[in-house]
Amino acid sequence: METKNFFHSVTLDREKCHGCINCVKRCPTEAIRVRGGKAIIITERCIDCGECIRICPHHAKQAIFDPISIMDEYEYKIALPAPSLYGQFNNLDDVDLILGALKLMGFDDVFEVAKAAELVSDATRKYMLRPDIPRPVISSACPAVLRLIRVRFPELLENVLPLHPPIEVAARLAKRKAAQKTGLPYEKIGAIFISPCPAKVTAVKMPLGTEKSWVDGVLAIRDVYPRLISLMRHVPASQELSEAGRLGVGWGGSGGEAAAVLKERYLAADGIENVIRVLEDLEDEKFYDLDFVELNACSGGCVGGVLNVENPYVARAKLERVRKYRPVSCNRLPDEDIMPYAWESPVEYEPVLELDADLKVAMEKMKQMREIEGRLYGMDCGSCGAPSCKAMAEDIVRGFSTEESCIFKLREEIQTMADGLSRISSVLPKASQENK
Amino acid sequence: MANDTIKLELEVPGDDFTRAGEASSTVKGMLKKLGFSPNVVRKVAIAMYEGEINMVIHGGGGQITVEISPESGVSMSLVDHGPGIPNIELAMQEGWSTAPDSVRNLGFGAGMGLPNMKKYSDEMEILSEVGVGTTVNMKVHLA
Ligand SMILES: Nc1ncnc2c1ncn2[C@@H]1O[C@H](COP(=O)(O)OP(=O)(O)OP(=O)(O)O)[C@@H](O)[C@H]1O
Ligand code: SF4
Ligand SMILES: [Mg+2]
């Protein structure tokens, strides 16, 4: 299994890892193994969903994002707050307080991702009017889901909404606006996203659908949160900063993006296991009569991202409060043209889970895999470092493991050896046998 | 003293749901700028927002007339030519709703709009005829 030099936000702190296999079992793409008592991530399989960060009892899995000091690298800095940020605060019914606090933190301007989300929703509604598109349309905003589809559900790629996610749109609009206003070149303007999850960090460093992201830095909500809390009470009253409506803010929770399409026939699933189940059913064409499918890797949607502070369900309720009495939407496209929102490069199948590119070889490997699996014990105990006996059989065929790494196999062998020994030891040499 | 009032005529389009709430947002911004007390601004904003949303979801759009007076407060008249409300008493009950699923998922349809309008306005009357339309008049006093 060669490991290409991929960037991932999710990484391992070897010191803290106990090799306990909790994460190995949890990973939805079977991308983790334990070797030599430490976990390793098979990088091309990792979708940065953050499940391993959530499950690891030793906090050995972590997300990489930028330090707050990244702001200092730019002459003019713009904060791009994720809608889920709005769900982190107690008794808040005015988003302007958060936006004002971001300015006090040192940002020259704020561009709400929720505002960009309303534009993406408008573009989605326009895209859905096309008669020739495969249905249902599957959302592409959660980078972990998009990466999951890319490695596991290639047939569904044509259903995926080929539009940039709100963060990307926000960065582009914010930087263009800033360049016009200040006359500065783009390199001196920093668009800094405040993120609920590691998947979005990866989406910025290794984007899909475009060559290079316009986002210049990514901060974690949990890093920014304590600063905002202390700055909020210094925000001058009656600043009107928020430019997002109910639809845009709703994107922070599961179902928000789908509801903004304004169609009745939609489905919204959240939590990586549910997402996989829905994708499998979509692949088998078990649903009909659906226009739109929204999928979020995190339970509850982006409010459930691992870089948040508040419990997802509480955050969801707080988000509802913040968006109450907001206009339904405050942003729409200037015309019918959705091209500025469309992916510039297609997202293609990444066959990292295939046994071999050559079908014949793959068939042969599959046969071997099944033979090996038949010889294993089917306990899925994980002590070999693989998530299941099946995955172990595949690892062996790929030359990444050996049958002896199975402790039951090992015991079998010791048993055989022990039997052999006792057999040998019971055979007395001819010379010592009594003559009868 | 009628000449120091400001009168606004606002169109509420019935065919574009994404515009719902814009009229009340405009009025709220104006009241804030005029320096009305936060309590009055809040009462008008909520009562008018709920009424406007109802005009879009249930009434197919219409017109809102707002009169802002420094002495007597804010009066609003929300007029639509939609299906009308067959049983006003029932509609006024908390939790009664005929909102479709597509808007329920946006957080509408709890059946709390009319009760909230009653609660936040100081005077309210509903005139409705089935097949003709609905007019809701509301007033928020200054003190
Ligand atoms: N302008 C109107 N035209 C026709 N029917 C209306 C109108 N306004 C209200 N109704 C009827 O009265 C019911 C109750 O209205 P109310 O505003 O209390 O609740 P809702 O709009 O259904 O939900 P919510 O306001 O909590 O989102 C509506 O479901 C609808 O049947
Ligand atoms: S659901 Fe949202 S927070 Fe979770 S991985 Fe996807 S984009 Fe990130
Ligand atoms: Mg209502």
Domain boundary among A63, A90, A108: A63
Instruction: Please answer whether residues B83 and B128 qualify as being in contact, where contact means their C-beta atoms are separated by less than 8 angstroms.
Output: no
Domain boundary among A308, A341, A374: A341
What would the pLDDT profile of A70-125 be if each residue is shown by its tens digit?
999 999 999 999 999 999 999 888 899 999 999 999 999 999 999 999 999 999 99
Predicted pLDDT at A410: 87
Domain boundary among A307, A341, A375: A341
Residue in A238, A245, A255 closest to B105 by CB: A255
Does residue A192 register a pLDDT over 70?
A: yes
Contact B107 A323 (CB under 8 A): yes
Give the model's confidence band at B1: pLDDT under 50 very low, under 70 low, under 90 confident, else very high.
Answer: very low
Chain B contact for A253 (CB, 8 A cutoff): no
Provide the shortest C-alpha distance from residue A328 to chain B (in Å). 5
Does residue A320 register a pLDDT over 70?
A: yes
Residues of B in contact with A260 (CB under 8 A): 106
Predicted pLDDT at A435: 58
Q: Which residues line ligand 2 (CB under 6 A)?
A: A 49, 142-144, 196-197, 199-200, 296-298, 301-302, 305
What would the pLDDT profile of A377-389 be if each residue is shown by its tens digit?
999 999 999 999 9
Q: What integer best gives the mean pLDDT of chain A?
A: 92
What would the pLDDT profile of A290-302 be if each residue is shown by its tens digit?
999 999 999 999 9
* Residue A188 or residue A1, greater confidence: A188
Contact A245 B21 (CB under 8 A): yes
Q: Are residues A157 and A280 in the same domain?
A: yes
In a domain? residue A56: yes
Q: Are residues A22 and A142 in the same domain?
A: no
pLDDT (mean) for B25-30:
88
Predicted pLDDT at A1: 36
Give the model's confidence band at A366: pLDDT under 50 very low, under 70 low, under 90 confident, else very high.
Answer: confident
* C-alpha A164 – ligand 2 centre gap (Å): 15
Q: Are residues A271 and A407 in the same domain?
A: no
In a domain? residue A184: yes
CATH number where A383 lies: 1.10.15.40
Predicted pLDDT at A6: 66
Does residue B33 register a pLDDT over 80?
A: no
Domain boundaries, chain B: 2-141
Residue of chain B whose alpha carbon sits nearest to that of A118: B18
Predicted pLDDT at A238: 67
In a domain? residue A315: yes
Does residue A183 register a pLDDT over 60?
A: yes
Predicted pLDDT at A433: 65
Contact B21 A122 (CB under 8 A): no
Residues of A in contact with B101 (CB under 8 A): 264
Report how far residue B84's alpha carbon sits from residue A53's, in angstroms, rounded to the nearest whole number. Answer: 55
Domain containing A323: what range?
A: 68-341
Q: Are residues A85 and A161 in the same domain?
A: yes
Contact A328 B102 (CB under 8 A): no
Give the model's confidence band at A413: pLDDT under 50 very low, under 70 low, under 90 confident, else very high.
Answer: confident
Q: Are residues A113 and A232 in the same domain?
A: yes
- Work out the percent of chain A whose per-residue pLDDT is above 90: 77
CATH T-level fold of B2-141: Heat Shock Protein 90 (3.30.565)
Does residue A436 register a pLDDT over 80?
A: no
Give the total number of structural domains in chain A.
Answer: 3
